[in-house]
């Protein structure tokens, strides 16, 4: 089953798709190599999409709103950092090391 984004049929990497957006991820069954492979593929796709724009001021329509690449890139950095931060308490519980 896939999700259609900007005329692309994007394959859902894990089962459990709910209303075309989210998928379940079961850590106990996870294959680390597979997970990193999916992550690398998504990074490559994101780089290719960003490179397809000729300017940071180029726009695209997203959910009925016109947004620029200049808006998207910092937003994605912010989201990525936020989700990495969610893992800090788990890591700290494992090794006891806390950040600054």
Cβ atoms < 10 Å from Cβ of 23: 13
CB-CB contact of 23 with 13 (8 Å): yes
Percentage, residues of the chain above pLDDT 90: 24
Residues 6+ apart with CB under 8 A from 78: none
pLDDT band at 31 (very low <50, low <70, confident <90, very high): confident
Per residue in 45-83, pLDDT tens?
Answer: 889 989 989 999 999 888 889 999 999 999 999 988 888
Q: pTM for the complete prediction? A: 0.63
Predicted confidence band of residue 40 (pLDDT cuts 50, 70, 90): very high
């Amino acid at each position: 089953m896939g999700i259609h984004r900007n005329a692309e049929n994007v394959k859902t990497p894990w089962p459990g798709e709910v209303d075309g957006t989210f998928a379940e991820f079961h850590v106990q069954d996870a294959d680390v190599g597979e997970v990193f492979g999916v992550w690398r593929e998504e990074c490559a796709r994101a780089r290719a999409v960003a490179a397809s724009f000729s300017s940071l001021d180029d726009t695209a329509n997203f959910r009925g709103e016109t947004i620029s690449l200049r808006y998207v890139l910092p937003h994605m950095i912010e989201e990525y950092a936020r989700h990495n931060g969610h893992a800090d308490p788990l890591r700290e519980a494992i090794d006891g090391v806390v950040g600054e």
